[in-house]
Amino acid sequence: MNPLPFTTATEVTAAIPATRAHLDRGGLLAYPTETVYGLGSRALAPDVARLAAFKGREPGKPFLLLVSSRTMAEKFGLAFTPAANALAEEFWPGPVTLVLRGGEGKLHDALRGPEGGIAVRHTSHSGMATLITALGHPVTSTSANKPGTAPAPGAASVMEWFGDAVRAGTLLVLDGGVLGNVPPSTLVDCTDDEPRLIREGAVPRAELRRRVGRYAP
């Protein structure tokens, strides 16, 4: 299957039915975000396992979740500490990923990291936010790349690297154009009262501290 155009609002709306059907069959998805192209799936155990095998993910390294609102994160049982609340209020939607406690019984433990939390981001990519809202559930996310390579800058690279999976019907590609040279999201562990910076990315630590003060890592 050729990549589905996914740039304009009209293209996004047109892509939703085919994308929903593909995910409902347990398929995998390649898509643009506000940072890099991602690979994802539904947040269900078999789908997550399929994505891990496809990506060659080492055991114990979970995927993050993209949501289209804070309400969606809370609907799936994720809890916001005061620091997480401040960071979400200031930086969501946007390229800051928060590791949150909760989700027991609503999100599979395969998504849970060693600190006991689940990484989640309210995406600021308008197309993905529209799609996730239409789906009614989060989509898992990991960078679209082969081990040891940079994330794909566009759908052409995804097709070059993962063309066999596309032709086999395993992977559906959403073509959101070529993305700029943006670092991955900043990752903050908010499972304890004191937040901890795991990865400095698109939003540097200094900007976190400037905008949320004592609630920043």
Stronger pLDDT, 196 or 151, i.e. the higher one: 196
pLDDT band per the 50, 70, 90 thresholds, residue 148: confident
pLDDT at 192: 94
Q: pLDDT, tens digit, for every residue of 39-93?
A: 999 999 999 999 999 988 877 788 999 999 999 999 999 999 999 999 999 999 9
Average pLDDT rounded to a whole number, residues 123-132: 97
Q: pLDDT, tens digit, for every residue of 158-195?
A: 999 999 999 999 999 999 999 887 888 999 999 999 99
Average pLDDT rounded to a whole number, residues 111-120: 92
- Any residues with CB less than 8 A from the CB of 213 and at least 6 apart, and which? none
Distance separating alpha carbons of residues 177 and 37, to the nearest angstrom: 10
The amino acid at 213: G
C-alpha distance across the termini of the chain, in Å: 44
SS3 171: strand
pLDDT at 35: 87
Give the domains, in start order, of the chain with CATH numbers: 4-215 (3.90.870.10)
Question: Helix, strand, coil: what percent of the chain each, to 5?
Answer: 35, 20, 40
pLDDT at 168: 95
Distance separating alpha carbons of residues 40 and 132, to the nearest angstrom: 12
Rounded to whole angstroms, what are the CA distances from 164 to 1, 39, 90, 159? 11, 15, 41, 8
67, containing H or E segment? strand 64-67
Rounded to whole angstroms, what are the CA distances from 152 to 15, 78, 139, 162, 199? 21, 30, 18, 11, 20
